[in-house]
Amino acid sequence: MNLNKEQLWQYNREGWMHLPELFCREEVDVLKGELPKIFAMRREEVWREKDDEAVRTAFAAHTYNEAFARLGRHPRLLGPVMQLLDGPVYMHQYKINGKAAFNGDVWQWHQDYGTWARDDRMPEPRAMNVALFLDEVTEFNGPLYLIPKSHKQGIIEAGHDTLTTSYPLWTLDRQTVSRLADDGGLVAPKGGPGSVLLFHSNLVHASAPNISPWDRVIAYLSLCHVDNHIRRFKRPEWVAHRDFTPIEPLAGDCLLELA
C-alpha cells in the first residue's frame, strides 16, 4: 500500500494522517481475541495503572504473541511508513495501550522523538508512529489529542515526569502547549475499529483519562529507518528494541490465516 500525493502533502504539512477502517472487522477480531490473554500476563513488559490492575501498556507484544507479531509485519502498515521514511525500517518500539474504561489514566503532552533522542540517542527524527484502533475511538473514551504542524518545531524542551502516572515521560509545560495549540489548533482523530493513525515522531500529542464505560485499546508500532537506529541502550530491550534488521512484510491476509 502506498500513499497518494494528497496524503503525502497532508502528512508533511500537518504531521499526521488518518486512514479509516484500513483493517476489516475479521482482522480486528483476531487481534482483540488475544487481548485478554496478554492483559492477564504478570510479566515485566505489561505495565499497569496505579491501581495495579488495569493495563496501561503492554510492551513488545510482537515477541510473545503470534497475532501481534504478524501485525508488526503487516504490509498495510509498513508500506506507508517505508514510503514516508524513504527506505527499510526496524521496530524501535511496540506497545498496546489499554486505556481501560473508568481507569485509563492520562498520557501527558509530549513528543516521542524527544524521549527517543534523550534516552536512546536516536540520531534524527527519521521515525514515526502507526496506531491501529482496536476499539471505536470516540470523544468520550480518551482519544489521542494532536497539535498539527508541531512536528516542525524540532525537539522541544521538556521535563522528566516520573510521578504523575505509572509510566515516566518527558513532558511539555503548559505555556509551550498553549503556544503550539494557538498556532496549530487541536485535533482528536476518531474512528471505528480497524482505523489507522500515522503521525510524525516530533508531533506533540497527549490523551485524557478514560472515565467513560467504554475501553479504548490502540496498538502502536514505532518504526525507524534502519540507518537511524539508536546508539544508547539505557532502557530495557523490550522498551527500546535492539534488533535493527529491516522488517520483511508478510502477505496482506496474514491475520486472516489465524481467524
Q: What's CA 110's distance to the chain center, in Å?
A: 13
Q: Find, among 73, 101, 105, the residue nearest to 88 by Cα.
A: 73
3-state SS, one letter per residue, for 14-62: HCEEEECCCCCHHHHHHHHCCHHHHHCCCCCCEEECCCCCCEEEEECHH
Mean pLDDT of the chain: 95
Q: Find, among 156, 168, 80, the residue nearest to 119 by Cα.
A: 168
156 backbone dihedrals φ, ψ, rounded to 5°: -100, 145
Question: What average pLDDT score do residues 20-26 get?
Answer: 97
Q: Where are the domains of the chain?
A: 14-234
Q: Is the pLDDT of residue 56 over 70?
A: yes
Distance CA 96, CA 133 (A): 10
Q: Is the pLDDT of residue 165 over 90?
A: no
> Cβ neighbours of residue 158 under 8 Å, at least 6 residues apart?
110, 111, 114, 118, 170, 171, 172
Residues 72-83: pLDDT tens digits?
A: 999 999 999 999
- What would the grid cell of residue 68 be? 501481534
Q: Does domain 14-234 match CATH 3.30.2350.10?
A: no
Q: Is the pLDDT of residue 94 over 90?
A: yes
Q: Find, among 171, 139, 174, the residue nearest to 157 by Cα.
A: 171
Q: Which residues of 187-208 are buried (b: 16+ CB within 10 A; e: fewer)?
A: bebbbebbbbbbbbbbbbbbbb
Q: What's CA 130's distance to the chain center, in Å?
A: 6
Q: Find, among 147, 199, 198, the residue nearest to 176 by Cα.
A: 147
Question: What average pLDDT score do residues 118-147 get?
Answer: 97
Q: Find, among 146, 141, 254, the residue nearest to 191 by Cα.
A: 141
- What would the grid cell of residue 252 be? 496482506
The pLDDT assigned to 164 comes to 65
Q: Is the pLDDT of residue 145 over 90?
A: yes
Q: Find, among 106, 110, 112, 107, the residue nearest to 173 by Cα.
A: 110
Q: Is the pLDDT of residue 119 over 80?
A: yes
Question: What average pLDDT score do residues 16-45 get?
Answer: 96
The pLDDT assigned to 166 comes to 59
Question: What average pLDDT score do residues 230-236 get?
Answer: 96
